Chains A and B, each alone.
Chain A
Amino acid sequence: MVMNPLPFGVGMIAGGGLFYAGFRALWLKRLIDNLPTSKVRSLAMGIVEVKGKIVVKDSVLKSPFTNKNCVAYRYLIEEYRKTSKDTSSWVQIDRGEERTPFYVQDETGKVLVDPTGAEIDIPIDYEFQTGFGKTIPSVVQQFAQKKRVAVGTFLGMGRKLRFREYFIAPNDQLFILGTAGDNPQVTEGTAKKNEDDIMIQNGKPLFYISDQQENGIVNKFKWQAVGGIIGGSVLIVVCLALLLRQFGML
């Protein structure tokens, strides 16, 4: 039976991506493992790791689907569609995010964080899937209309849509790995409050924010590394073998 060789080629590329992602996870695990947590009071310039509670700076954002106070949110609207002759899957039709500066506070003080450019690793806070007999919450419906996404109307019939929301709310406990530097919005020595003088911001090698415990993050990266390196290698070899077989070389 002659099969389309394209999926095997794609599989090899995906394997390569998985292999690379595995090494990145290994590097991240080592980076977090090796860097001790700093106290906010004695924060030094450069790459830092801090843990603490979120305190609102000036204003809060409203999460799009639940209308909750937050300092950062991300949303995703997906539709269940036929992607090929035999398969259907969730396809993204709209996404967006918004972030605002906030303070992170530990037992020694608080420091300003500008989350712009950060890799925010948080679980889903809200999910709604349309379906027969389900009424779309009004906040979700209004947001979908604003984004010009047509939703099913009568008894939930129509398009099969999924709405997902992730957000970081005030008082959430965060783990932050970023670069402590001067606050670019404030001229040196003119900060009204000490906590506005230094800011954790985007910088090399990484800006990472998570609401998980450090042990959980390290474990996650460990298994991502193992899975990525081994899984990626196996996928490349298997897809290569199948590809060669397809061309009668194996």
Chain B
Amino acid sequence: MVWGIIAVVGVAILLVAIAFLGYFFTVYNALVQLKNNIQKAWSNIDVLLKQRADELPKLINSVKGYMKHEKGTLEDLTKARTAFLNAKTMGEKAAADNMMSSTLKTLFAVSENYPTLKANENFIQLQTRISGIENELADRREFYNDSVNTYNIRIASIPDAVIANMLHYQREELFKATDAERKDVEVSF
């Protein structure tokens, strides 16, 4: 009789322990997955940033003959590209990306002043391709921010906060648009 009670209580305790451990591992693995999601989301942005940087020399070559009065914009674009190629950290790359995006926005806006350039097939193709990359980048920045937001909420919530603390997980920064990016481009005709 006693052994029977011991067996039932023992199994109950064992199940509670398994449930507790299982929950711990599920939370632990989910946090690791969240951290990796952020890295992957960033890598997916980086791939597009590289693609866009590779397209820039072609774009500059195709417009420089037409846009003689926009030397400053083209120089800014070259500077932004160089800054991106020299960037080592995520922050530096993000800053270069913001610079590149706002300069490209200006360039495409002022290209409206040059009808012969607007009719150039090579330019149209490059503009379409770069605009496509820009749209994809916008989606992937949003995805990155969603991943970071989920992670930041999780590591601050109980019970995840306890495990996140054990793993020394810190808050991650969101990918923010600069003031220059948020500003509408003014074009004078």
Contacts and interface: CB of A to CB of B under 8 A. Distances in A.
Contact of A26 (B7, B23, B33, B34): B23
Contact of B139 (A108, A229, A233, A244): A108
Q: Which secondary structure characterizes the binding site on chain A?
A: helix
Contact of B147 (A36, A42, A46): A36
A237 interface: yes
A233 B15 CA distance: 6
B5 interface: yes
- Interface size classification for chain B: 35 or more
A44 B144 CA distance: 12
Contacts of B40: 44, 46
Interface stretch (A27-35, A122-130, A171-179, A181-189): A27-35
A176 to B, nearest CB: 16
Given A38-B143, A233-B16, A23 B22 contact: yes
A222 to B, nearest CB: 12
B52 to A, nearest CB: 13
B72 interface: no
Contact of A229 (B19, B33, B147): B19
A228 to B, nearest CB: 10
Interface of A: 19, 23, 26-27, 30-31, 33-39, 41-42, 44, 46, 108, 229, 233, 236-237, 240-241, 244-245, 249-250
11 contacts: A30-B26, A34-B33, A34-B34, A38-B139, A233-B16, A233-B19, A240-B7, A244-B4, A244-B7, A249-B1, A250-B1
Given A31-B33, A39-B139, A244-B8, 14 more contacts: A26-B23, A30-B26, A31-B30, A34-B154, A37-B146, A39-B143, A42-B137, A44-B44, A46-B40, A229-B19, A240-B11, A241-B8, A245-B4, A249-B7
